[in-house]
Amino acid sequence: MSAVHEAVPPAAAARAVGLTKIYGEGDAAVRALDDVSVEFEGARFTAIMGPSGSGKSTLLHCMAGLDAPSNGSIFIGDIDLTTLSEKNLTLLRREKVGFVFQAFNLIPTLTAAENITLPLDIAGDKPDKGWFDLVVDTVGLRDRLSHRPAELSGGQQQRVASARALVSRPEIVFADEPTGNLDSKSGHELLGFLRSAVKDHDQTIVMVTHDAAAASFADRIVFLADGRVVDEMLEPTTERVLDRLKSLEA
């Protein structure tokens, strides 16, 4: 565990500087992100919240290198994503970023174990056996490893997806409404697991959610409205988040 505890990065794991994203052109243009500058600290669990259309998913997609911004810069560590070629962006996603989506996280033809090691396999790397076992046991999938996605419950599928996001020890994990399709019990299990990855293993996680209870698992919440960062909250609780959301929507 020593490797995990000693190297807490001093600077932000990822940051956006003057990030603007405009969809469409002319009169139909929509400003999804408007000059957003935000930092995501390492070894912290950050949630992004905001009403529908606030730009929270767009911010996540741009940060993760899945969408190209119209203006501004995005850094993962000290690499500026906006300067990277398509190929290098793909390599960056493979090596430094992990993903958990709301749904359809797994390749149906591969077993749970194969899905977990997919990013490593794509890169041609061998998984670290000890770390793999630890991740698998933490998410409680030991006896499900040889099953295909169709044979797993929704909660199990999301845990496989989380395990996949963590197994390559990426610099940062982006989660887009990971509990959106789960019942509350499975959702809490998953969030607890993400939280422990941050607490026990110094993983950096950024999660978009609209669920106040989910957001309360985070260390910090960034609030977005109309494409701008409007507020922040540290050490959130469900009640405080709900209050803040009410005031944002008012």
Partner 1 sequence: MLRAAIRSLLARKVRLVLTGLSVVLGVSFMAGTYVLTDTMTAAFNELVDTGYSSIDVLVRSSNAFTAQTSSLEEREPMPGSVLDVVAGVPGVAEAVGDVVGYAQIVDPATGKVIGTFGPPTAASGWNELNGFTLKPGGSPPQGSDQVVIDAATAESHDIQVGERVQILFEGPPGEFEVVGLAGYGEEDSLFGATWALFDLPTAQGVLGKQDQLDSVSVVAAEGVTGVDLQREISAVLPEGAEAVTAATVTSEAQDQISTGLGFLRTAFLVFAFVALFVGAFIIFNTFAIIVAQRTRELALFRALGASGRQVLTSVIVEAFVIGVVSSILGVVGGIGIAILLKGALNATGFEIPASGTVILPRTFVVSIVVGTLVTVVAAVVPARRAARVAPIEALREAQDRPGRSLRFRLVSGAVVLALGLVPLAYGLFGAPANALQLVGLGVAFTFIGVAMLTPMIARPVAAALGSPIRRTGVPGKLGRENAMRNPRRTAATASALMIGLGLVVFVAVFGASAKASTTAILERTLKADFILTSPTFSGFSTSAAEDMRRVPGVETVSQIRQAESHIDDGTAFVTGLDPATFEAVSEVGIVEGSLTELTRPDTIAIFEEAATDNGWGIGDTIAVEWPATGEGELEVVAIYSENGLIGDWAVSLETFDANVAQRLDVFVLIKAQADADVAAVQSDLEEALAAYPNIEVQDQAAFRDKYATFLNQVLNLVTALLIFAVIIALFGVMNTLYLSIYERTRELGLLRAVGLTRRQTRSMVRWEAVIISVMGALFGVVVGIAFGWALQQALASEGFSELGIPGGQLAIYVVFAALLGVFFAVFPARRAARLNVLEAISYE
61 touches partner 1 (CB under 8 A)? yes
185 touches partner 1 (CB under 8 A)? no
155 touches partner 1 (CB under 8 A)? no
Residues in binding contact with partner 1, number by CB under 8 A: 28
Q: Is the Cβ of residue 15 or residue 61 nearer to partner 1 in the bound state? A: 61
Instruction: Determine which residue in the list 122, 137, 183, 247 makes contact with partner 1, applying CB under 8 A.
Output: 122
The C-alpha atoms of residue 174 and residue 178 are separated, in whole angstroms, by 10
86 touches partner 1 (CB under 8 A)? yes
Q: Is the Cβ of residue 48 or residue 212 nearer to partner 1 in the bound state? A: 48
CA 120 and chain centroid, separation: 18
Span near partner 1 by CB under 8 A; candidates 62-70, 72-80, 135-143, 198-206: 62-70
The C-alpha atoms of residue 87 and residue 68 are separated, in whole angstroms, by 14
Q: Is the Cβ of residue 2 or residue 85 nearer to partner 1 in the bound state? A: 85
119 touches partner 1 (CB under 8 A)? yes
**Number of CB atoms found within 10 A of residue 95's CB:** 16
Tell me how far, at minimum, the Cβ of 148 lies from partner 1, in Å: 10
The C-alpha atoms of residue 67 and residue 91 are separated, in whole angstroms, by 15
Buried b (16+ CB within 10 A) or exposed e, 209-228: bbbbbbbbbbbbbbbbbebe
- 155's enclosing H/E stretch is helix 154-167
Instruction: Determine which residue in the list 34, 35, 67, 128 makes contact with partner 1, applying CB under 8 A.
Output: 67
Contact predicate 81/92, CB 8 Å: yes
**Number of CB atoms found within 10 A of residue 134's CB:** 16
Residues that bind partner 1 (CB under 8 A): 61, 64, 66-67, 86-87, 90-91, 93-95, 99, 101, 104-110, 118-119, 121-124, 150, 164
